Amino acid sequence: MSTDPFGLRSFDVDVARTRPGVKWQREPHMLASWVADMDFPVAPAITERLRALVDRGVFGYPNWPDGLSPAAHAFAARMERRHGWELDASRLHELADVVQGVRMAIGMLSSPGDGVALHLPAYHPFLYTMPMMDRRPISLPAAVDAAVEVIATERPAVMILCHPHNPTGRVFTRDELQQLADAAEEYDVWVISDEVHSDLLYAPARHIPFAAVSDAAARRCATVTSASKAFNLAGLRWAVLHAGPDVLDAAIREHPSHWFGAPNQFGVEATVAAWEDGDAWLTAVLDVLDENRHALSDLLARHLPGVGYTPPEATYLAWLDCSCLGAGDEPYELFRSRGVELSPGPQFGDGGDAHVRLNLATSPVVLASVVAAMGGA
């Protein structure tokens, strides 16, 4: 039997360059290690399910009698099965994407001028949201005790958790989540938990949905997620928001129906296939990613000695401290001049200077080529 049944390991740079989509096609001459898309072929369970839709010509209005798509039901079932979180399905709202859900929740749980706390460096669309929506970003330190102090003094209206964290790959433990939940309760802070990377953890790290920490946490928390990161479906546009706070659920329902659009059948079916039949593929992907996150330490030691890197506990993103290279705040430019496109650290806000983010979701062969090129080989 093949040791690589899903074709995750064997492709090289020439094959990767043929991948459609913005990652490789925006600048086809570059080695692409930036946007959070994977180079892996999608799970066969997903392509088979989508092919069946096409073959049967299923393009009309779908028949979802209770108003929720099968993907929303699959989400509820998956949360219970994997995390023991028995959520209230009547509070699920289906959306096109995760950022939409985060921005909706910010808009409905806070007002212009309010503070929004988040851990910096932060996923850049969260940061761009602040001036767009006239909210004040409040930087939360990584250490939870210090974060609680900031919450107590700055009194944000909302705290965004990127859980697990992009770009650092950090996973919040149950104790940390409990402390943040206690602080949220004490200082009356709503929580928006973006859990889109929560299927991408490496043992022994374990994902605990923020809303599963306690009933009080569930009532304070808008959980937003999708299958798009772990199963590489970002173009299919389906996401889900669980509105724990009554005010949020009510605010969404106050809008006329169709205000936020309606789910796309292809996104729904791909998500169901991912969450119900995609686990063998996901396990194989996590194997390669685990190998890559450790291999990167050796590759950096060989090609870019001194670059700081701690393998992430989750996500396929590697956060590299390039201060040693003497390339200033934006080492991204140096790597671009060597033909490699990464995500520039400063776009993630404070703590991002002299950093780049590298995408590990590729074959070990392509990863080796990327790091060798970064080193100027």
Ligand X SMILES: Cc1ncc(COP(=O)(O)O)c(C=O)c1O
Least spacing, CB of residue 160 vs ligand X, in Å = 10
* Two structure tokens written together for 185: 């309760």
For the residues of 111-144, what is the DSSP string, one character each? -TT-EEEEESS--HHHHHHHHHTT-EEEEEPSSH
Residue 373 binds to ligand X (criterion: CB under 6 A): no
Site map (CB under 6 A) of ligand X, residues 44-83, x = contact: ----------------------------------------
Instruction: Kindly tell me which of 69 and 226 has the beta carbon lying closer to ligand X.
Output: 226
Least spacing, CB of residue 342 vs ligand X, in Å = 14
Residue 159 binds to ligand X (criterion: CB under 6 A): no
Would strands 317-321 and 355-359 be described as parallel, antiparallel, or unpaired? antiparallel
Residue 196 binds to ligand X (criterion: CB under 6 A): yes
Choose, by CB under 6 A, the member of 239, 243, 273, 289 that binds ligand X: 239
Residue 270 binds to ligand X (criterion: CB under 6 A): no
Would strands 343-344 and 340-341 be described as parallel, antiparallel, or unpaired? unpaired
Residue 225 binds to ligand X (criterion: CB under 6 A): no
The helix-helix angle for 265-277 and 70-83 (nearest 10°) equals: 20
Least spacing, CB of residue 197 vs ligand X, in Å = 6
Instruction: Kindly tell me which of 196 and 373 has the beta carbon lying closer to ligand X.
Output: 196
3-state secondary structure of 33: coil
**Size of interface with ligand X, in residues (CB under 6 A):** 14
Q: What is the side-by-side strand order in the sheet with 136-140?
A: 92-95, 239-243, 221-225, 190-194, 158-162, 115-119, 136-140
Would strands 239-243 and 92-95 be described as parallel, antiparallel, or unpaired? antiparallel
Site map (CB under 6 A) of ligand X, residues 80-119, x = contact: -----------------xxx--------------------
Residue 320's closest CA among 288, 342, 292?
342
Residue 162 binds to ligand X (criterion: CB under 6 A): yes
Residue 161's closest CA among 181, 145, 133, 134?
181
Residues found near ligand X in the complex (CB under 6 A)? 36, 97-99, 123, 162, 166, 194, 196, 226, 228-229, 234, 239
